[in-house]
């Protein structure tokens, strides 16, 4: 089989990390998450994955898996209340969330930079309920394509902390203005976690400083001061439910990660006026 070549920008190349994490998990004897599509895509790409992932910790690999699981849980609850609702996957990369979550009636949008969407089209297809959007989430134009009358859940995995806080604030204010009642679920990290990720993951993964993380937040409630329409529903530590039945060293690492908020999931709702 001919391998698919990748021509991606620096930050876009980081989509390999979660893809690899889900594929590796799927191959385990007792996986937390099954993602055969991720395995198929990884085996189809013309890339030496070993150059990125040799030496990465168990915690890093588990983090990419648990992030998908937590976002899946929020989507399931959202669809139980809104089976015809709209979901927007911001910075979709080579995500397979739609494949796991499609209930046959939802409306789905995959948003990412043009080079990533071009690569994505080699593995996924649009249909009457699924649309690909090319561009930065910081652009305003794509927001106008969304059905404002629908209940909307925005999800984003591994995106926001690549940007400055001022950019994130601007995005959330736009969302609050345009989509009252919507929800946003995304992963975040404390400032300490940002420093550790840049040192332990991106550098070890052979990524340059232009891919380093920027935005960290210690307490999700801080976001409510950005706009009085923002309400934080929850902040969920990544590893609290998977620390048992592991060796002592791994349990301690997972506990330390949760305690210092190196990785956690934030769920925000926009209040209606």
Residue 244 sits in which domain range? 68-270
pLDDT in tens, 17-66: 888 889 888 999 889 999 999 998 888 876 655 555 566 677 888 889 99
Domain CATH number, residue 253: 3.40.50.150
What local confidence, expressed as pLDDT, does residue 208 receive? 52
To the nearest whole number, what is the mean pLDDT of the chain?
A: 88
Asked whether residue 30 is assigned to any structural domain, the reply reads no
Residue 230, class by beta-carbon neighbours within 10 Å (0-12 exposed, 13-18 middle, 19+ buried)? buried
Asked whether residue 17 is assigned to any structural domain, the reply reads no
Beta carbons of 142 and 135 less than 8 angstroms apart: yes
Asked whether residue 239 is assigned to any structural domain, the reply reads yes
Comparing CA positions, the residue from 77, 60, 70, 76 lying closest to residue 20 is 60
pLDDT in tens, 158-177: 999 999 999 999 999 999 99
What local confidence, expressed as pLDDT, does residue 51 receive? 56
What local confidence, expressed as pLDDT, does residue 56 receive? 66
User: Strands 264-270 and 152-156: what pairing?
Assistant: unpaired
In order of 9, 17, 182, the CA distances from 74 in angstroms are 30, 22, 13
Asked whether residue 174 is assigned to any structural domain, the reply reads yes
**pLDDT means per 10 residues in the chain (273 residues)?**
59 75 89 91 72 66 91 97 96 93 96 92 94 95 86 95 94 95 96 83 53 90 96 95 86 92 96 84
Beta carbons of 52 and 61 less than 8 angstroms apart: no
When divided into structural domains, the chain yields a total of 1
DSSP-derived secondary structure for 74-132: HHHHHHHH-TT-EEEEET-TT--HHHHH--SS-EEEEEE-HHHHHHHTTT---BTTEEE
Measure the CA–CA gap between 154 and 86, rounded to whole angstroms.
Answer: 8
Tokens standing for residue 194: 């940002």
Asked whether residue 110 is assigned to any structural domain, the reply reads yes
Asked whether residue 34 is assigned to any structural domain, the reply reads no
Q: What angle do CA 160, 163, 164 make, to 5 degrees?
A: 120
* 3-state secondary structure at position 219: coil
Q: What is the pTM of this model?
A: 0.90
- Report which DSSP code applies to 268: E
Asked whether residue 7 is assigned to any structural domain, the reply reads no
């Amino acid at each position: 089989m001919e391998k698919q070549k990748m021509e991606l920008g620096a930050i876009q190349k980081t989509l390999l990390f979660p893809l690899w994490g889900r594929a590796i998990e799927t191959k385990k004897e007792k996986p937390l998450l099954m993602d055969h599509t991720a395995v198929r895509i990884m085996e189809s790409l013309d890339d030496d994955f070993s150059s990125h992932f040799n030496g990465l910790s168990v915690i890093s690999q588990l983090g990419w898996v648990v992030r998908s699981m937590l976002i899946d849980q929020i989507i399931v609850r959202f669809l139980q209340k809104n089976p015809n609702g709209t979901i927007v996957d911001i910075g979709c990369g080579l995500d397979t969330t739609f494949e796991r979550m499609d209930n046959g009636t939802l409306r789905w949008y995959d948003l990412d930079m043009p080079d990533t969407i071009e690569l994505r089209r080699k593995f996924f297809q649009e249909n009457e309920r699924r649309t690909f959007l090319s561009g930065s989430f910081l652009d305003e134009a794509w927001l106008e394509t969304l059905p404002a009358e629908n209940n909307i859940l925005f999800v984003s995995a591994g995106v926001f902390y690549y940007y400055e806080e001022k950019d994130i604030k601007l995005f959330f204010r736009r969302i609050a203005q345009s989509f009252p009642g919507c929800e946003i679920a995304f992963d975040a990290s404390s400032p300490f976690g940002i420093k550790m990720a840049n040192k332990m993951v991106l550098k070890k993964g052979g990524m340059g400083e232009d891919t380093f993380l920027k935005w960290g937040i210690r307490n999700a409630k801080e976001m409510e001061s950005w706009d009085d329409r923002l309400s934080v529903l929850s902040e969920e530590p990544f590893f609290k439910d998977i620390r048992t039945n592991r060796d002592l060293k791994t349990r301690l690492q997972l506990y330390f990660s949760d305690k210092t908020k190196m990785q956690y999931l934030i769920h925000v709702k926009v209040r209606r006026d």
